[in-house]
Structure 1
Amino acid sequence: MAVAALAAVLGGLLGDGANAWQWLHWLAKPLATALVIVAALAGPPIAPRYRRWIVAGLVCSLLGDVLLMLPTDLFVAGLLAFLAGHLCFIAGFLGDSRLGTRPLAWLGCLLVAAVNLVGLWPSIPPALRVPVAVYALVLSAMGAQALGRAWSHAGDALARPARRAAIGGLLFMLSDSLLAWNRFHGALPLAVVWVLGSYYAAVWFIARSVAQDEGVAAAGAVRTSLT
């Protein structure tokens, strides 16, 4: 997965039009996400229900990857694919945490979304303002639920998997914030490195949150309650 992610970044940096580097980007970008999905499917999960929702979210992310990298303008379609992915992630997190758990986590994530929207609003085309605002709300809700869930599970059998999901959720927020500033406000230096680097780290951590830690198998009661 790391090799494919590096190839996607390199192809994005050096690609221009339809040259070989651009083709490398087009091939490696979805391949890296596909390999993340394979990782999520490997080994025993903390809960079958949780894995189903996380894999569904990763598949939506893979679709979003393809839609956003195509030479035609499919930005809204890609946005909808990723929005569906975040809703799947939230559904997975709700298997063992209530919606809105840890209000401080929600306040922090929603504040980040609000600051981004306020800063970007004048630069966002009017036709895209509502889709972008809805996406920002759902993205911040995903990050907030992941963070609140990790907070709630601190010290129990799901602490480490929940912490991985929280790291992934926050990295997803970072990646999409960088993408939005680069697209709507102005080109960021080496944007593809920072955007794709944080994105692949995000989906990797979320995928790894599916797997049991060694010794967690003994916590069968916890796992059963989630299925």
Structure 2
Amino acid sequence: MEKTRSAMARLLPLLIFASAVACYLAQEDLGLPRDAAFLFKPLTTILIIVLAWPRGRATPIVRRWVLAGLVFSLLGDVALLWPQGFIAGLLAFLAAHLAYLWAFTRVRRLAAWPWSFVAYGLVALAVLSYLWPGIPVPLRVPVAAYVVFLSAMAAQAGAIGKLDGAWKLALGGALFFASDGCLALNKFAGPVPAASLAVLPTYWAAQYCIAAWLQPAEGRATSP
């Protein structure tokens, strides 16, 4: 049984990568039917949830909220499969960032390393200012709120990365910020060439890094 679990753990990253590639090929109509994206997009996130599930049991509160963030992200993935699902997707991912932020602040207090918040805040302000004229008026408040919490999540991940050496988490936050930034540029100031190639790999790499940050089930806890 233990050997089976170990083999599955080694296989999961490959399955995640293969599903992500299949989703990209389907969305770009590169050899797979476009409808295949309705399978492979949620499947990729589900596989990341499977990766995260056995991890972090020594820190149950952190684990619970990271899993909640992944589930909200799955809901957002499904919503964004339809053009009319943008608002639902935005709200689902906003909930995901709040869940991640809550998880991360169980490890270190909010803004424990303030320079991370300064850096992300300045970049977020610059991007939002650039996009502002292209954002429809009814979406300006929800988009601005989303940017605030996305930036706070990424900055808190960066703070933990700096203070605790958690480079996977810091990288996950940065990749999520980059992915959503490119998505916003494509939607409100685009089109951005090969946007899917920029958005999807960074998004799933971000989710993978956040899931992999949780302590493996076999190891000892090294974080709260």
The TM-score range, normalised by the shorter chain, is 0.7 to 0.9
- Return the match for 1:105 from 105, 111, 116: 116
Instruction: Name 1:146's counterpart in structure 2.
Output: 157
Instruction: Name 2:47's counterpart in structure 1.
Output: 35
**Alignment partners' CA distance in 2, 1:184 and 1:44:** 38
2:137 equivalent to 1:122: no
The one-letter code of the counterpart of 1:38 is V
**Alignment partners' CA distance in 2, 1:33 and 1:78:** 14
- CA deviation vs aligned residue, 1:44-75 (integer Å, no higher than 9, x gap): 5451221111010000000000001124x121
Instruction: Name 1:78's counterpart in structure 2.
Output: 89
- For structure 2, list consecutive stretches of 5 or more residues without a partner in the other structure: 1-15
- For structure 1, list consecutive stretches of 5 or more residues without a partner in the other structure: 154-158
TM-score by length of 1: 0.87
The one-letter code of the counterpart of 2:24 is V
Secondary structure of 1:14's aligned partner: coil
**Alignment partners' CA distance in 1, 2:63 and 2:76:** 20
Instruction: Name 1:191's counterpart in structure 2.
Output: 195
The one-letter code of the counterpart of 2:176 is F
**Aligned structure 1 segments of 4 or more residues deviating by more than 6 angstroms:** none
Instruction: Name 1:47's counterpart in structure 2.
Output: 59
Query: Retained in 2: the 8 A contact 1:46–1:212?
Result: no
Instruction: Name 2:148's counterpart in structure 1.
Output: 137
2:15 equivalent to 1:3: no
TM-score by length of 2: 0.88
**Alignment partners' CA distance in 2, 1:194 and 1:14:** 16
Secondary structure of 1:130's aligned partner: helix
The one-letter code of the counterpart of 1:47 is T
**Alignment partners' CA distance in 2, 1:88 and 1:76:** 18
Instruction: Name 1:156's counterpart in structure 2.
Output: none
Identity, in percent, stands at 43
Query: Retained in 2: the 8 A contact 1:65–1:78?
Result: yes
Give the deviation of 1:213 after TM superposition.
Answer: 9.0
**Alignment partners' CA distance in 2, 1:74 and 1:126:** 18
- Return the match for 1:205 from 209, 215, 218: 209
Q: How many residues align?
A: 209
